[in-house]
Amino acid sequence: MDYLVIKENDLFLLSEPNGDITQNHSYGLGLYTKDTRFLSKMELKINGEKPVLLSSDGSANQVSRVLLTNPHMERDGELILWRESVQIERERFIYEGVLYETIYLTNYYPKAVKFTIDLAFDADFKDMFIVRGFQKGNVGAKTGQVYDENSYELNYSGSDDLERTTRISWDKSPDEVKENGDFTYNFELEHSQEQAFTIMVQPVINGSYEIGIPIPANEALEKLTDSYSEWNRQAPLMKTDLTPLQQLVDRGWSDLRVLMTDIGHGGFPVAGLPWFGVPFGRDSLIAALQMLSFNPEAAKGTLKTMASTQGTKVDPWRDEQPGKIMHEMRFGELANTDQVPFTPYYGTIDATPLYLILLTEYVRWTGDLQLAEELMDSVVKALTWIDEFGDRDGDLFVEYHQESSNGIANQGWKDSGDSIVHRSGEYAETPIALAEVQGYVYQAKTGVADLFEALDLKDKAAALRTQAEELKQEFENKFWMEEHQFYAIALDRDKKQVGTITSNPGHVLFSGMLEEERAKAVADMLTSEKMFSGFGIRTMGEGEAGYNPMSYHDGSIWPHDNSMTLIGMSKLNQHEQAKTVISGLIKAASQFEYERLPELFCGYSSSIGKAVKYPVACSPQAWAAGTPLIIIQSLLGLFPDSLNKRIYLNPVLLEEMNELLVSRIRVGKGHVSIRLVKEEGKTKTAIIENTTGFEIIQK
């Protein structure tokens, strides 16, 4: 990556690899919370000059470290500081709403040296939408700065009547602080001597220092590290002899920890960094779905967060309707003053059925019917939205159409303006009914029917099953393309098939809506040369009119898109196709920084020898980080049914694997541990532990 990013809860820092925040940078570097930039400048110099970067490491997620040294310094033939005399290490992390940066200085010159460390700070308090160039607006103004012996503050009065402050404090007072936010420290170090000092940056809204004076850096880092250790203890223990897969799972699980946020209803995964560290309906729901086998509590926090913002009224400005689950929630000045419709914005067609799917799958894993009862009013409202607002014309299909003048035109997961395109090259016009959304609705209704039956609401369950069966038949009639042996991506405004071959129908595999023969045709197409690059399933088939391997949604490869197909393949015992997809993703991940799957990458064939980076992909990104967890669930073929006290298991190992052990997977009120080994080319299964009391049914 061309940047360093760290995050904890809803505060994140985006900087250059050398640790600096430089102004007017194309990436919009800064320290952000509540969609506001609280630091727009943070630069370090030695003797007034920029140091030389030696290394930059953000692999640990919770803490980043940058190693620097001084350039050679002479003036008028007089030596000031020999090159590489002083080692400068910047260690930074975030804890309890405070950015900590400790600067370690070590003298490697044979004699004592004198030098200054200069730090420059500024804050422009810009709204995220303005930083990214998406929006202009009426905003507030900076109101000056305040300096005392303990801190330096920059202040801003917003157009939303919120007072914002960036408070900079230290454990070692600067020798000089200028009004423009420049600090100077004077140092004299003997040979091999080390000194260190810590700067703390604390965003404040409306003058309330909720945590008071920041705790010391060493104590804060210890607490942060302990929280990561606890996160790891919560997960099943996964071990395999396939090292790239082990690295991929470890990285994904670590990335999900840094993306967890709590806005008052329990922890949930935000969409991704750097720009989407906020609640997202679709993204958060899918990431929580991916996490069920490792941490079902994330689903609980996600569901409660979504329920808390469920639509209550018809509001075209926000594309809101009663019962609808939100798309995206923002907290900045423009949102607070209604200059953008994101408090929250509801322009998503799939978040509402995905909300119901996550609830039903969560109950299958945990047996927690109490949460289903707690959310029952929200469930009924979501079902009502599907029938009354989602299905705009009564044809059984859920369609989208943008109402907001400042909203999103395409409202499925492929939400770019060019993503729904006919084979002629013409863009489809709304209202649009997407293939995968109909699968989501079918899965949501059949899943909620199971919950209703468990809660002795049998008439309601029967009604939902009837509706789902009618949708299934109509989907087959209207979406199936006999000449291509595949499903259309969508129906357009005129109910014509959008016949471009895309990845969207792959999501329908998980729903249980497809008959076996056609489900196989979908899986075969998705792993054909047209759709499968060698690294993953493309979003659009090679040779289609809209195909572009460099595009965002029309030929690129999205790991989460692959995972949604993969979980369906596993559920349907499509082992060979699933192994093809898994092997491709593992091969791709090894070529990206930190062995991390990014949000997306280009769809070029693996025959060129490497996976091609997409230039502005989020990394880490939640549903990309969750994809390795789906890989593990798919290899196990693990699908619990806590309502009926059963665990379905249909495992498989990749050709390049010999062993997979997953210990203490939470199911119901107990755990199950499973070991797969390859013997004479066949996968053998051993149940090491089963404290669930459930029957294990292996196919």
pLDDT by residue (tens digit) across 142-172? 999 998 888 999 999 999 999 999 999 999 9
Q: What is the residue type of 69?
A: T
Whole-angstrom distance, CA of residue 135 vs CA of residue 560: 29
pLDDT band, very low/low/confident/very high, at 208 (cuts 50, 70, 90): low
Cβ-proximal residues to 100 (8 Å cutoff; 6+ apart), any chain: 92, 93, 94, 198, 199, 200, 214, 217, 220, 221
For residue 283 the two structure tokens come to 């993204």
pLDDT at 213 over 80: no
Cβ-count burial of 405 within 10 angstroms (0-12 exposed, 13-18 middle, 19+ buried)? exposed
Give the three-state DSSP class for 586. Answer: helix
Domain regions of the chain by residue span:
4-226, 235-679
Q: What is the largest CA-CA distance in the chain?
A: 92
Side by side, which strands form the sheet with 646-649? 638-641, 646-649, 695-698
Dump pLDDT digits (tens) for 554-596.
Answer: 999 999 999 999 999 999 999 999 999 999 999 999 999 888 9
Phi, psi for 133 (deg, rounded to 5):
80, 15
Give residue 325's pLDDT: 98
Cβ-count burial of 78 within 10 angstroms (0-12 exposed, 13-18 middle, 19+ buried)? exposed
Give residue 275's pLDDT: 84
Cβ-proximal residues to 14 (8 Å cutoff; 6+ apart), any chain: 3, 4, 5, 21, 27, 28, 29, 30, 31, 32, 273, 274
CA 681 to chain centre: 37
Phi, psi for 76 (deg, rounded to 5):
55, 40
Q: What is the DSSP letter of 43?
A: E
pLDDT band, very low/low/confident/very high, at 211 (cuts 50, 70, 90): very low
Whole-angstrom distance, CA of residue 51 vs CA of residue 70: 5
The mean pLDDT of 254-282, rounded to a whole number, is 93
For residue 662 the two structure tokens come to 């997953």
pLDDT at 210 over 80: no
Q: What is the residue type of 482?
A: E
H runs (alpha helix) in 176-296: 217-234, 243-258, 281-290
Lowest-confidence range among 149-158, 208-217, 492-501, 652-661?
Answer: 208-217
According to DSSP, the β-strands at 73-75 and 78-81 are antiparallel
Whole-angstrom distance, CA of residue 377 vs CA of residue 360: 15
For residue 60 the two structure tokens come to 């640990």
Residue 442 is inside which H or E element, if any?
helix 435-454
Lowest-confidence range among 134-143, 437-446, 489-498?
Answer: 134-143
Dump pLDDT digits (tens) for 82-91.
Answer: 999 999 999 9
Give residue 212's pLDDT: 65
* Residue of 228, 247, 189 lying closest to 46 (CA atoms): 189
| Fold match flag (4-226 vs 235-679) | no
CATH 1.50.10.10 fits 235-679, yes or no: yes
pLDDT band, very low/low/confident/very high, at 26 (cuts 50, 70, 90): confident
Give residue 181's pLDDT: 81
Dump pLDDT digits (tens) for 280-333.
Answer: 999 999 999 999 999 999 999 999 999 999 999 999 999 999 999 999 999 999
Whole-angstrom distance, CA of residue 568 vs CA of residue 513: 11
For residue 444 the two structure tokens come to 């949501």
pLDDT at 12 over 60: yes
Give residue 316's pLDDT: 96
Contact 117, 103 (CB under 8 A): yes
Whole-angstrom distance, CA of residue 472 vs CA of residue 481: 15
CATH 2.70.98.40 fits 4-226, yes or no: yes
H runs (alpha helix) in 535-626: 559-571, 575-589, 622-625
Cβ-proximal residues to 552 (8 Å cutoff; 6+ apart), any chain: 416, 419, 600, 614
Whole-angstrom distance, CA of residue 397 vs CA of residue 387: 9
- CB neighbours of residue 26 within 10 Å: 7
Give residue 1's pLDDT: 61
C-alpha torsion 436→441→445→451, nearest 10: 70
Dump pLDDT digits (tens) for 362-374.
Answer: 999 999 999 999 9
Whole-angstrom distance, CA of residue 579 vs CA of residue 178: 61
Neighbouring-strand partners of residue 551 = none
Higher pLDDT, 406 or 437: 437
